[in-house]
Amino acid sequence: MVPSPHTRRLFTLIALAAATLAGAHAETVAVAVAANFTAPMRKIAAQFEQDTGHRAELSFGATGKFYAQISNGAPYAIVLAADEATPAKIAREGLGIGATRFTYAIGQLALWSKKPGYVDAEGQVLHKTDWRHLAVANPRLAPYGAAAMQTLARLGLRGQVQPRIVQGENIAQTYQFTASGNAELGFVALSQVTENGRLREGSAWVVPAELHEPIRQDAIVLKSGEGNPAAAALMNYLQGEKARAIIRSYGYSF
């Protein structure tokens, strides 16, 4: 969901007012962050604090688990989800402020191995039988896991590889299974294995977007964040060029 011009102006005005007062009265905002967005959000939060004086207190995990926690009163002010459906649901249920919702990033799925040269540029390694385990995030809780299962289905491989799938609770655990070598292959977020457009280690196939539904990642201010100047400032900051440059460097688009 793209924010309306009115919403962007509202965030800008509130953020400017908050920034004016930041030196005298900096605030803290509790943010629930999808696990795939860990690395870029840590950088963004540090820059945000430096630029505004406000502090973002970050918690990382599976979007589905965050939704359950929020439904039970968890005191987050903002959710940066791994999908668009969860923030929409939060807004419908009156747990968040619908007018604040926008897409902060569009994620990319990658098939990755820690071994250099193991994953080919077309993902044909999935058709081979010499690997034992494929790590996939829980598709009921993690949108990247759902995208991975959609990819396998569209390739006609879901039934064939199902016995070899090991399931991570979220995309962070899925990455750990693969990075440790317990799984030779893993469907991970491209952001977990690249920085500044380069693969940090191993080998990977960037899954074509047409093989799964778009991974639109939406942000929303929760009811508990209403009136918090740090929450308004962070939502505005995420749409600014400094944050977007960091987000792009991890392989996301908009």
Q: What is the mean pLDDT of the chain?
A: 92
* pLDDT for position 20: 45
C-beta of residue 217 within 8 angstroms of C-beta of residue 254:
no
Tell me the per-residue pLDDT of 190-236, one tens digit each, with 9 for 90 and over. Answer: 999 998 889 999 999 999 999 999 999 999 999 999 999 999 999 99
Please give the CATH number for the structural domain made up of 5-106+214-249: 3.40.190.10
Taking the C-alpha atoms of residue 33 and residue 67, their distance in angstroms, rounded to an integer, is: 11
Q: How far is CA 184 from CA 15, 123, 146, 202, 223, in A?
A: 46, 13, 20, 11, 43
| CATH superfamily to which 109-206 belongs | Periplasmic binding protein-like II (3.40.190.10)
Tell me the per-residue pLDDT of 90-133, one tens digit each, with 9 for 90 and over. Answer: 999 999 999 999 999 999 999 999 999 999 999 999 999 899 99
Q: Return the percentage of the chain with pLDDT > 70, whole number.
A: 91
Same fold, 5-106+214-249 and 109-206: yes
Closest CA to 187 of 238, 222, 146, 157: 146
Confidence band of 58 (pLDDT split at 50, 70, 90): very high
Q: How many CA atoms lie within 13 A of 54 on its CB side?
A: 29
Task: Return the sign of the alpha-carbon dihedral for residues 128, 132, 136, 139.
Answer: positive
Q: Is the pLDDT of residue 147 over 70?
A: yes
Taking the C-alpha atoms of residue 122 and residue 111, their distance in angstroms, rounded to an integer, is: 10
Q: What is the mean pLDDT of residues 134-152?
A: 94
Question: How is the chain split into domains, by residue range?
Answer: 5-106+214-249, 109-206
